[in-house]
Every structure is written in C-alpha cells, then in structure tokens.
Structure 1
C-alpha cells in the first residue's frame, strides 16, 4: 500500500500560504503587489505567497513553490507561525497559513516574476505603507516575539546628537531617462508626487 494521499482541504482550512521572511537586523521582506483588479491585496505591500495548487502535498509545499516561482528563493527552514485572514480576490476573506523564515540577502538581486518590487522594512516603517491591517499586525506580532534589536539611539551611541541630512539620488541612463519614484500619499515630503529617490 502506497503513502496516503493528502486529504483535500476543507472549506474552513487555509488554502493560501505566505512567508514572513526576516533578517538579523530586525527587518521584514515585503512584496509590493501589482495594482490590478481581481488579485489579492492589489497595490499593497504584502508577504510572498499564494494559493494551494493540486500538486502541492501541503501548505508548506505551497509556500516553498511560490517563493521559488515569484522570487527564486529557497529557504532551508520555514516554520509555521500563524493562521490569519487576508483579503481574497474579491470573493471575501480567506484563511492564510503563515510560515516564518530567515534570509540575509539583497532583495534587489532576486529574479522577481510577479509584482513591482521586494524590499526590507523595519516594523516602525509599516504605518507609512499601504498594506492590509492584518499583515501589519502579523509582522508586529512576530517582531515582539523576537530578541530585541538595538534601537537607533543605541546604535549611534548613548547621548549622541544626530544630525539629519536629506539626500536625493539622481540616476540617468545613456538615453537621458531619469529614474523617479512615486511617493506615498502620506509622505511628509512631496506626497503623491514623482520624485528623485530620497532618504535622510
């Protein structure tokens, strides 16, 4: 007798799997999804993942397949973290099995096949991002359970006086095209405008 076939998921079982990927600096890898109708969380920063397919023997298989297909990622360890809800493709809410894993790479080097970009964010950055509230809460819940990461004040030295300097990056290709970024509508500086990449 061969191995038992996996039981088909019940209606109430999670049928979507996502990866909560973090690094040693206390940052979380988020995926800016395409802003198109008919997909889950359009135009939002979200977690990599997707729906279970017939060939997936488990939801861990699902999330590992999605990571390979969407970003070329193969994490050695993925551990179940939570079951939560997320907006589905317009048909209502669907349960999501979330797996946590650690990765230390540069997201700009990943071969992203879906969405706009991948980027690391600290939990303190989340309020300025367009994202589903349950995703934001999930990241913060995971962050509170981890070993504390030194604060900015600790990294710069107790009692240090920090001087904030604004930087704008001007990038032009050989054809004379200039790279601009669309700033978030809640940005304190130049909201909802196309602008040079800027940091401080």
Structure 2
C-alpha cells in the first residue's frame, strides 16, 4: 500500500549491473518538454503509474525502454526532491542484468550504453541519478 504523496510525481529507476560490472546508462532525449535534455541517467526508469508499486514500475520501464530483464532487484534509496525541475519522489533500486548486454535495445532516449561506475560518474548526469549512483557505490563498497 502506498502512502498519499499529494501532487508529487512518483518515479522509479534502477542501477542495472551487467555481469562484467558495468552499469546501464541512458542518454536522455534532447527534445522540447524533456527535463535535463542531453543528460545521462545511471538509473534509468520512469513514472510510476497510479496504483502501481515502484518495484513493478521499474520492471515495466526496463522492459519497455530497453527490453531488459533483471534479477536480484533490491531497494536502494528513496529521494524526495523539492526543486522545481526535479520535483518528485524517486524510488531507486539496484538490479543485475539477466540477459546478454548485446540484446539491450534503446526505445526511449538517444542511446543506451554500459559504463564502468567510476566512468559513469564523469558523465553529465541528471542530478538525481548522480545521487542514486553515489548511494549505489557507497553500498557496494560497504558489502565488500
């Protein structure tokens, strides 16, 4: 059951790791109406539909946008942003890619690619995606 979030948009995204340790990144579209056009996301995803759980939303979004199948889906962090350009609640997950990297398709955004996480940090990242990636890296270090 989801709590009342008022007028805040709810998003779901995931840091998706390939078997070789690289993560799936998406170059956002560069067209009117897109916030942060031409920025990369290291935690691709999208809007959570009404009455949809964020976990279900990210599985759906990854299938729709990349035809990606994932396993080991884990809650990573939830971030609430009050800034006008990023207003919303962002549910972030980590997951393992459950298919060959070569089978990933890009149906939304300009392109999809895999990067070493430290390399992804040097990309022009969407600000919330940067926070999510930093959290992912801090948790990855703690479990070693």
TM-score range, shorter chain: 0.7 to 0.9
Does 91-100 or 101-110 show the bigger shift? 101-110
Higher RCO structure, 1 or 2 (CA under 8 Å, sep 6+): 2
| Cross-structure match for 1:41 | 36
**CA-based RMSD:** 2.9
Aligned length: 141
| 1:57-76 Cα distance to aligned partner (Å, 9 max, x none) | 31111111111111111213
Indicate the residue corresponding to 1:144 in structure 2. Answer: 138
In 2, are the aligned partners of 1:108 and 1:119 still within 8 Å (CA)?
no
User: Do the aligned partners of 1:123 and 1:140 also contact (CA within 8 Å) in 2?
Assistant: no
Larger Rg: 1
Question: Which among 97, 100, 115 is matched to residue 109 of structure 2?
Answer: 115
Higher helix share: 2
Gaps of 5+ in 1: 1-5, 149-200
Q: Does the 8 Å CA contact 1:14/1:97 hold for their aligned counterparts? A: no
TM-fit CA distance, 1:145: 2.4
Q: TM-score normalised to the size of structure 2?
A: 0.78
Equivalent residue for 1:98, pick from 88, 92, 101: 92
Judged with a 3 Å threshold, the aligned counterparts in structure 2 of structure 1 residues 41 and 86 are, in CA distance, closer, same or farther, namely: farther
> Is the partner of 2:70 in helix, strand or coil?
coil
User: C-alpha distance in 2, partners of 1:23/1:110?
Assistant: 11
Superposed CA deviations along residues 91-142 of structure 1, whole A, max 9, x for unmatched, are 5521200011011655453232111111111232235421123322321331
